[in-house]
C-alpha cells in the first residue's frame, strides 16, 4: 500500500505542521519511510471514536522529528496505529514508543481502496500462517502439484504475476515460466516454488540483465544489455558483476552485429511442455526456415536450465555446432559439440577462424602461396576485422567463479 503523507503533529498534540509530501511503502512485513523503516511483527483490528483501522506491533527506529525540523536522535517505535473514517481516503498514523508514549501523529491519504486491500492481505497472511503444518507422510516427496497458468494474479507479497505455478495450502507459488511485475521493472524466466531459479531476465526501461539465478539472486553467468547492446558478460554473485569477461566474446558480438538481423527480436524463451520450466532462454536471433528454402541459424547467448551459457551458431536448438560453453562450474569449453557433448576440443583462436572464414596455412607451403594469390577483397576485409581479436584466449581447466583451478563454487 502507498501512503501519501505530508503532515505531522509532535507528541500527543493536535497541531499539525506540513512538510514536503512523501510516499511511504506499507507492506504486510514492513513500513518504509524516508527516514527509516519498521518491521511488522503482529497486528490486530481496532475501532475507537468513530475511527476504524489496525494496530501494529513494530520493531525499528525512525528519525520521526526530522519531519518537524527537529534534530533529535532516532526513536524506537514499538506500536503503530493506522486509522481512518469509513468511506474516507484520509489516514492517520499514530506512533508510540516502548513505554506507550505517543511520539507523533501523521496525516496523509491512501490510494483508492488501498487500506481495505491491505487489511485483507494481512488477514490472508495470518490465515496461511495459522494453518496446520503440511503433510509429511509417505509419498510426500513424490507428490506433484497441479500446475496452472494465471494472468496478473496478485501474490502474497503484493506484486502481480503472470505465468505458471500452483497453490500450496491456499497460497499461489510461481513455478515454471512466468513474469513478475515489480516496482519499475519486471523479472521474466524460471521460478521454483516462488523464487527465481535458473535462467531469467530482470528488465528496466533502458537496460536489462540476463542471469542464471539461485534463490532469487543472480549467481553464475550473466550479461547486461543497454539500449539493445551487450555491455557486460561474465560472472555474477548476489546480482553483482564480479568479473567482466565481455572481451572473450567480443569477436562474436561483432559477428552478430554484421549479421544484418537487427530487425529481429533478441529475446526468445523455450519451455518444457510437461514441467513448464524454462529450458532455454536465448538472447539473440532464433533459427527459422525462410521462404526461399534456406534457413537462418540460431545465433546468440543461450542460457540453459543447468546453469550453462552457450555462445555460437547452430541450425537447431540441440546444441550441435562449434561453440563456446560456459559451464555451471565456472569453466569454459571451446570446440565442436554434438547435442551438448564436446566431441572435438579447440582453442579460442581456431573457433574465431571458423566463424570469420580466415583459414591459416603454413606460409612456406605451395598451397598457401596459391591461396594468397586467389584472395578476394571480401576475404581481405574479413581478415582485417578478424585481426582485432588476435591474442584472445581462455584459461583451460580454470574456474572463473573462483579465480583459480579448484572446483568448489563460491555460492
Domain boundary among 109, 124, 139: 124
| Residues 107, 239 within the same domain | no
Beta-strand relationship, 171-181 and 186-192 = antiparallel
Q: Retrieve residue 35's grid coordinates.
A: 527516514
User: Is residue 132 situated within a structural domain?
Assistant: no
| Residues 243, 375 within the same domain | yes
Taking the C-alpha atoms of residue 314 and residue 297, their distance in angstroms, rounded to an integer, is 6
Q: Note the maximum CA span of the chain.
A: 102
User: Is residue 289 situated within a structural domain?
Assistant: yes
Mean pLDDT, rounded, of the chain: 86
Name the H helices within 194-270.
250-257
User: Is residue 227 situated within a structural domain?
Assistant: no
- Which of these ranges, 220-234, 303-317, 361-375, has the smallest mean pLDDT? 361-375
User: Is residue 214 situated within a structural domain?
Assistant: no
- Which of these ranges, 143-147, 366-370, 378-382, 393-397, has the smallest mean pLDDT? 366-370
**What is the full DSSP assignment across 41-69?**
EEEEEEEETTEEEEEEEEE-EE-GGGGGT
Taking the C-alpha atoms of residue 181 and residue 202, their distance in angstroms, rounded to an integer, is 10
Beta-strand relationship, 321-326 and 295-296 = unpaired
Taking the C-alpha atoms of residue 340 and residue 172, their distance in angstroms, rounded to an integer, is 35
In this predicted model, what pLDDT tens digit does every residue of 43-99 receive, in sequence order?
999 988 888 999 999 999 999 888 888 888 889 999 999 999 887 888 999 999 988
User: Is residue 225 situated within a structural domain?
Assistant: no
Range of the domain at 55: 2-124
* 377 compared with 241, residue with greater pLDDT: 241
| Residues 119, 253 within the same domain | no
Answer yes or no: is pLDDT of 294 > 70: no
At a CB cut-off of 8 Å and minimum separation 6, what does 59 contact? 38, 39, 41, 78
What is the C-alpha radius of gyration for the chain, rounded to an integer number of angstroms? 29
Cβ atoms < 10 Å from Cβ of 104: 21
User: Is residue 187 situated within a structural domain?
Assistant: no
In this predicted model, what pLDDT tens digit does every residue of 9-58 receive, in sequence order?
988 777 899 999 999 999 888 899 998 889 988 899 998 888 899 999 99
The pTM (predicted TM-score) of the whole model is: 0.63
Three-state secondary-structure class, residue 406 = coil
Domain boundary among 101, 124, 147: 124
User: Is residue 152 situated within a structural domain?
Assistant: no
| Residues 115, 243 within the same domain | no
Answer yes or no: is pLDDT of 267 > 70: yes
| Residues 239, 375 within the same domain | yes
Domain boundary among 91, 124, 157: 124
Closest CA relative to residue 79, chosen from 99, 94, 61, 57 = 57
Q: What is the model's pLDDT at position 133? A: 46
User: Is residue 180 situated within a structural domain?
Assistant: no
Three-state secondary-structure class, residue 90 = strand
DSSP annotation of 399 reads B
Domain count within the chain: 2
Q: How confident is the model at residue 204 (pLDDT cuts 50, 70, 90)?
A: very high
Taking the C-alpha atoms of residue 199 and residue 308, their distance in angstroms, rounded to an integer, is 9
Question: Of all residues in the chain, what percent carry a pLDDT higher than 70?
Answer: 86
Q: Retrieve residue 172's grid coordinates.
A: 499461489
| Residues 238, 383 within the same domain | yes
Amino acid at each position: 500500500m502507498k501512503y501519501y503523507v505530508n503532515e505531522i503533529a509532535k507528541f500527543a498534540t493536535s497541531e499539525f505542521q506540513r512538510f514536503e509530501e512523501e510516499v511511504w511503502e506499507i507492506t504486510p512485513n514492513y513500513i518504509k519511510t524516508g527516514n527509516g523503516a519498521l518491521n511488522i511483527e503482529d497486528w490486530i483490528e481496532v475501532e475507537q471514536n468513530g475511527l476504524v483501522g489496525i494496530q501494529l506491533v513494530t520493531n525499528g527506529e525512525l528519525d520521526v522529528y526530522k519531519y518537524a525540523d527537529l534534530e533529535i536522535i532516532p526513536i524506537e517505535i514499538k506500536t503503530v496505529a493506522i486509522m481512518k473514517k469509513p468511506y474516507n481516503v484520509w489516514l492517520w498514523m499514530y506512533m508510540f514508543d516502548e513505554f506507550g508514549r505517543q511520539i507523533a501523529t501523521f496525516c496523509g491519504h491512501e490510494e483508492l481502496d488501498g487500506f481495505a486491500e491491505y487489511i485483507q492481505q494481512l488477514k490472508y497472511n495470518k490465515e496461511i500462517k495459522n494453518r496446520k503444518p503440511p503433510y509429511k507422510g509417505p509419498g510426500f516427496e513424490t507428490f506433484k502439484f497441479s500446475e496452472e497458468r494465471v494472468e496478473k494474479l496478485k501474490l502474497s507479497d503484493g506484486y502481480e504475476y503472470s505465468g505458471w505455478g500452483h497453490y500450496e495450502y491456499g497460497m499461489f507459488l510461481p513455478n515454471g515460466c512466468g513474469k513478475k511485475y515489480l516496482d519499475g521493472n519486471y523479472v521474466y524466466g524460471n521460478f521454483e516454488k516462488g523464487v527465481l531459479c535458473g535462467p531469467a531476465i530482470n528488465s528496466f526501461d533502458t537496460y536489462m540483465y540476463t542471469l542464471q539465478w539461485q534463490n532469487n539472486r543472480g549467481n553464475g553467468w550473466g550479461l547486461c544489455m543497454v539500449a539493445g547492446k551487450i555491455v557486460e558478460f561474465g560472472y555474477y554473485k548476489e546480482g553483482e558483476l564480479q568479473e567482466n569477461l565481455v572481451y572473450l566474446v567480443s569477436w562474436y558480438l561483432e559477428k552478430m552485429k554484421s549479421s544484418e538481423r537487427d530487425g529481429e527480436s533478441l529475446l526468445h524463451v523455450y519451455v518444457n511442455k510437461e514441467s513448464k520450466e524454462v529450458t532455454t532462454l536465448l538472447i539473440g536471433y532464433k533459427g527459422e526456415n525462410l521462404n526461399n528454402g534456406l534457413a537462418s541459424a540460431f545465433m546468440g547467448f543461450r542460457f540453459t536450465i543447468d546453469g550453462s551459457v552457450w555462445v555460437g551458431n547452430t541450425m537447431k536448438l540441440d546444441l550441435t555446432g562449434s561453440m563456446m560453453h560456459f559451464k555451471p562450474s565456472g569453466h569454459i569449453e571451446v570446440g565442436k559439440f554434438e547435442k551438448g557433448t564436446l566431441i572435438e576440443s579447440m582453442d579460442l583462436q581456431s573457433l574465431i577462424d571458423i566463424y570469420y572464414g580466415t583459414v591459416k596455412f603454413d606460409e612456406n607451403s605451395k598451397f598457401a602461396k596459391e591461396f594468397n594469390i586467389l584472395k578476394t577483397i571480401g576475404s581481405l576485409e574479413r581478415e582485417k576485422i578478424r585481426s582485432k581479436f588476435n591474442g584472445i584466449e581462455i584459461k583451460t581447466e580454470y574456474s572463473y567463479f573462483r579465480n583459480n583451478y579448484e572446483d568448489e563454487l563460491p555460492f
